[in-house]
Chain A
């Protein structure tokens, strides 16, 4: 009995050591980023001794980044895109998903098949014809192009549909007997019930749009239209040795995602798990 007990304790210790090592690997780059963001370019790589916070922290890096490049404009563009795309995605996907999961109508399966058929199709395969099409529509170099690109994904419809299917049909049918219109059922019954799915979709869409690089790279050409990711990359290639400034800009670009993620993370984990198992 005693040896078993000892074994359990040793096991626990090993688990904790592993956890700490993994946590260190995960977080070191972020800590290093934070530290380098307040150092001068000469201090960034100084190793012996390594200081986490320099004697004279160069907080001015966080100020200078706003004047070296039009960082405020980039932030504004990215916020605008992310918020519009997220709202559109939420509204249109939950709308369509309600219809696919709770209504019976002609051509339902056929229409849904169109969504299914594209789920395994990487965007990179059709990004070129999509660009040609958008250029024809006069959307080249317009923020609207990114909105059109991101807002109508099949993924959102799938996620919401999967969730709605878990809500009993009786609820809707009882409401129908009471004479409620479908729009009313959607807005007063389904929408409030689907908060976890909506939260998951918010984070997925927010993170994707905020961090997207290739989409904006293809469409947004003028400086004033660029997003944070493009602007940051541009800054890195222009001032490749201004390490402190690069790190400060990177830190700033992480903050909104960090906030959204921490707010909704429990839903997110749930959402990932559920899309994962059924996917």
Chain B
């Protein structure tokens, strides 16, 4: 996906020509994300799950919630972890084996956005202090690739967490034991939304698709919470942004994020 071929150069030329006329390759406005479709509970056996389509990008998140030993220095908090993986069937260039740097970055940026928003209230996920806590694992896999995995993975993880049910445990003989019939929603405090923008030439576009992703100079992913605060940011790509552009991206992320948050809320309500 990072390889530059003649085709990519031709595409880039065409994309920039269109941007000069205020247009995008797929007809969207510059600040318009692709259609987002959210399917809650795609994996009924997981504690929570969501399949998200962002245009032709398709990802799936499953949440597993299970007792775990706490980290020694934070025995009064549960654990939260989010991973992301590119499945080899998602694109011809994806290879099996240990994840490459771009995938590691993807997983970490998605994890950071959700973690730093304090979406999952880990202080409520303690079974017995210093002995046993609840671990929440949101694993995201990419099924079909058409650009902007950062946002697709983030929406899938967020939607899955919003609709997760966690069992209740009590300590029996020093071991956590499930209390039957006491499932409850995962304690969630805010809804983080990431918005990724690409800089192509002198233009900033929201939610770059695969062709735009291959053509961009640099990108920025900004995550906001329900109060409209910016909670995480990642700049990538081999060009810079001006200060004005960074400010513009910040405003865009709040504006676009608000609409997407409503969609996530709707998916949550429909599942209740």
The answer to whether A and B interact is no
